[in-house]
């Protein structure tokens, strides 16, 4: 092969060796996928009235976190839930904070350092890969996150691998059935849609909590386990 030909072919050979990035979706199972919330809007996530509007303490009580648990705050943002989760699982436990926006993780680190919290492991994931260690999580919490996934199937598969056999993922999504919930339509989901997407990707509904003012809270285990 001439030197010129090898030079021309080299980039093609290199590209063929890279794993293909799956295409981003704009729709999934009849639902319009929402845009990712930009890190510049992160102050909204730690607004004072959030506790009251979303009953966030009550929501976290439902997680029944215990010292020593290993859990994940998927799409952690600037850590509104990550920090109290880290306090609940204590020094013998850990919280993986997975984010695709490094700026969100920087804000989380700063807030955790101010409180002297050291049991948060941050991970910069890909839109199609949470990059969590296999079988590492008792629970993966997704608050107002799943509807933004541009690669729902790959993310669900990645989270399934990261769960321990009896682990659960907890979906907290604004209720689409309720017009009084003041959130844009594509940032809301119906229970039926959540159930359809999760069960068609190898999960089963194991518990629900219907007591939150604006959101559904649905717990899913891996289908085929007890």
Ligand X SMILES: C[S@@+](CC[C@H](N)C(=O)[O-])C[C@H]1O[C@@H](n2cnc3c(N)ncnc32)[C@H](O)[C@@H]1O
Chain residues that interact with ligand X, rule: CB under 6 A: 36-37, 45, 74-77, 80-81, 98-101, 104, 125, 127, 130, 143-145, 148-149, 155
CA angle 91/93/96 to nearest 5° reads 115
Q: Is the CB of 68 or the CB of 102 nearer to ligand X?
A: 102
Handedness of CA 76, 80, 86, 88 (dihedral sign): negative
Q: Is the CB of 7 or the CB of 57 nearer to ligand X?
A: 57
Q: Is the CB of 81 or the CB of 94 nearer to ligand X?
A: 81
Q: CB 10 → ligand X: shortest distance, Å?
A: 32
Q: Nearest-CA neighbor of 117 among 87, 77, 143, 147?
A: 87
- Computed on alpha carbons and rounded to an integer, the radius of gyration of the chain in Å comes to 19
Cβ burial of 134 (10 Å; 0-12, 13-18, 19+) is exposed
- DSSP annotation of 121 reads E
Q: CB 188 → ligand X: shortest distance, Å?
A: 12
Q: Is the CB of 94 or the CB of 151 nearer to ligand X?
A: 151
Q: CB 129 → ligand X: shortest distance, Å?
A: 8
Q: CB 75 → ligand X: shortest distance, Å?
A: 3
């Amino acid at each position: 092969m001439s030197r010129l030909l090898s030079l021309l072919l080299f980039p093609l050979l290199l590209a063929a060796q890279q794993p293909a990035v799956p295409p981003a979706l704009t729709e999934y199972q009849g639902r319009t996928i929402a845009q990712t919330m930009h890190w510049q809007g992160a102050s909204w996530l730690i607004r004072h009235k959030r506790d009251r509007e979303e009953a966030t303490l009550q929501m976290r009580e439902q997680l029944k976190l215990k010292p020593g648990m290993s859990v994940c705050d998927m799409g952690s943002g600037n850590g509104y839930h990550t920090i109290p989760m880290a306090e609940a699982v204590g020094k013998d436990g850990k919280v993986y904070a997975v984010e695709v926006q490094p700026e969100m993780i920087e804000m989380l680190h700063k807030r955790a350092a101010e409180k002297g919290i050291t049991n948060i492991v941050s991970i910069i994931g890909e839109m199609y890969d949470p990059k969590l260690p296999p079988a590492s999580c008792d629970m993966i919490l997704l608050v107002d996150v799943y509807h933004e996934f541009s690669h729902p199937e790959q993310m669900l598969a990645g989270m399934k691998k990261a769960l321990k056999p009896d682990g659960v993922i907890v979906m907290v999504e604004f209720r689409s059935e309720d017009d009084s919930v003041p959130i844009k339509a594509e940032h809301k989901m119906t229970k039926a849609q959540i159930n359809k997407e999760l069960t068609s990707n190898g999960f089963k509904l194991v518990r629900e909590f219907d007591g939150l003012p604006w959101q559904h809270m649905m717990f899913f285990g891996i289908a085929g386990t007890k």
